[in-house]
Chain A
Amino acid sequence: MKAFRYASPRVEDEAVDLLEDRWGASELLAGGTDLVGLMKKMVVTPELVVSVNRIDSMRGITADSTGVTIGAGTHLDELLDSPLMDDYPAVKQAIRNIDSLQLQSQSTVGGELCQRPRCWYFRNGYGLLADQGRHVVEGENQYHAIFGNSGPAKFVSASRLAPVLMALGAEIRVVGPSPGDETTMPLEFFYRIPRNERQRETSLEPRQMITHIRLPADAERSCAVYEVRRGAGPADPLAAAAAHCRLRDGVVEAARIYLGQVAPTPWNVEEAARWLVGRTLDERTAREAGEIAVARATPLSKNAYKVQLARVSVERALRLVAGLDCGGF
């Protein structure tokens, strides 16, 4: 690890004040499950690390009639154990899917959303885009993107919470770039596909950070997640889907479906969601929605199999929303 300076501020504004205005010069540290490994491999080499772990305002979960607010520094296992999250069983399921006690108790919600891509070119020092995507296109791309990959970014978004939080309509509170600044935006706007090595996977500026995640109250909706994984173990899923529907007598009134692990951002499959509206959600429509969801996939040379996995993820998430068994395991 390259040597760095370290600060552990107590309030949000102080953290903003400490951050540098160039990506990479400073990094935010939460659980450390991603950042510390990246620093050891010298993939990121900040001069300053700003820990958010002693900022009390970013910890814990509160609820009112309009929804819940989760501090970005709240650990995943705290969500799992909180009765305030009982109305969001799909979020709990997504955390349970992570399936590692250590990751659940060490990772924070904000850190989970901000984790860097797993792309092995990136993790071995070839840069976020690996020579503007050329290494990936000509190389080992079996775990890379099948959507949103026409530009130089071919990696997949690694967050396992983002698809379900976005399906639930999550918003984030962001502070910075100057102390005192604050904005609220849909989580969906947080992710963007970088075009060059000076950009990152998010729309934030280097001196901004997520402080809270807000989920609207979820009374009459049904949400589910499904991940295709390589058997047991902490490895990343190969494809994942989160589906959220408002159902009346089995008929879909509104739907949102997001895919994970298939594109440089969590991927909104709007066509499939729109197609479902007005239809009865059952085995047949779930399957067809899955097909619509992947109709416009653009796999690379070695990852066409992921199209099938993404299709199945959507189908099975929707079956779970409908209260059917998922049709697999």
Chain B
Amino acid sequence: MKDSKHLRPPKAGFSRRDFLKGSGAAAAATAIGEGVSGAVAAEAGSSVVGPGPVSIALNVNGQRRSATVEPRTTLLEVLRYQFDLTGAKPISEDGSSGGSTVLLDGKPVSASTVLALEAVGREVRTVEGLHGDPVPAAFVANDGQQCGFCTPGFVVAVRAFLDKHPSASEAEIRAGLNGNICRCGTYANIIQAVLDVVKGGSDG
């Protein structure tokens, strides 16, 4: 394709140089979202922030975490590269794979298409926060993965789906999980894992 060089996005997030430049100024950076559990800090409203770094606080898996982001930083980038929560995967840039699924205020979203600033004041739950949940256990018991790359996204999506449809049928499960793609084609085992959870039989 002509011009394809110009169409390549620069590395998402900030470059090392920008970051170093930015961290020097971090003390002066606008603070957003003081008091994560409460409403978003009022100053986040009208004021325009960026394009440089901004200090924010996020509520992730019940913990308050601080981060320094640019407006263009996605929630997925913060989770993976600042909080070391590498469950959610950068599979598709536009969210079409479902690989970066996390729960935002309990609802499934693609963290790859949510700006980190948009998650301020909201509750983020990642696959790491589902420790002890019957869904991942059922995936293990049913061999619901091959390479495992899609698995965290699937696990979170299944959790969200079952929260809404705790006694779903197989057809409903198949339709409900359409937003997630498994390149290895482990669908049969994934469906079986979900059916097990529905039946309350996740003995994994």
Contact = CB atoms under 8 A, between A and B. Distances in A.
A134 interface: no
A324 interface: no
Contacts of A75: 107
A9 B72 contact: no
A1 B12 contact: yes
A1 B95 contact: no
Contacts of B72: 1-4, 39
A49 interface: yes
B45 A102 contact: no
Interface string A75-98: 101000000000000000000000
Given A33-B110, A102-B110, A106-B113, A1 B9 contact: yes
Given A4-B51, A6-B48, A105-B107, A233 B178 contact: yes
A36 B49 contact: no
Contacts of B44: 8, 54
A26 to B, nearest CB: 10
Interface stretch (B60-68, B78-86, B114-122, B188-196): B114-122
Nearest to B44: A8
Contact of B46 (A10, A33, A105, A233): A10
Instruction: Using C-beta atoms within 8 Å of the partner chain, give the interface range for chain B.
Output: 35 or more
Interface in B104-134: 104, 107-110, 112-115, 117-118
A51 interface: yes
A287 B177 CA distance: 34
Interface in A1-28: 1-10, 14, 18
B94 A37 contact: yes
Contacts of A29: 115, 118
Q: Which 4 A-B pairs have the closest CB atoms?
A: A100-B179, A37-B94, A6-B71, A3-B51
Interface of B: 1, 3-4, 6-10, 12, 14, 18, 40, 44-52, 70-72, 74, 93-96, 98, 101, 104, 107-110, 112-115, 117-118, 157, 160-161, 174-179, 181
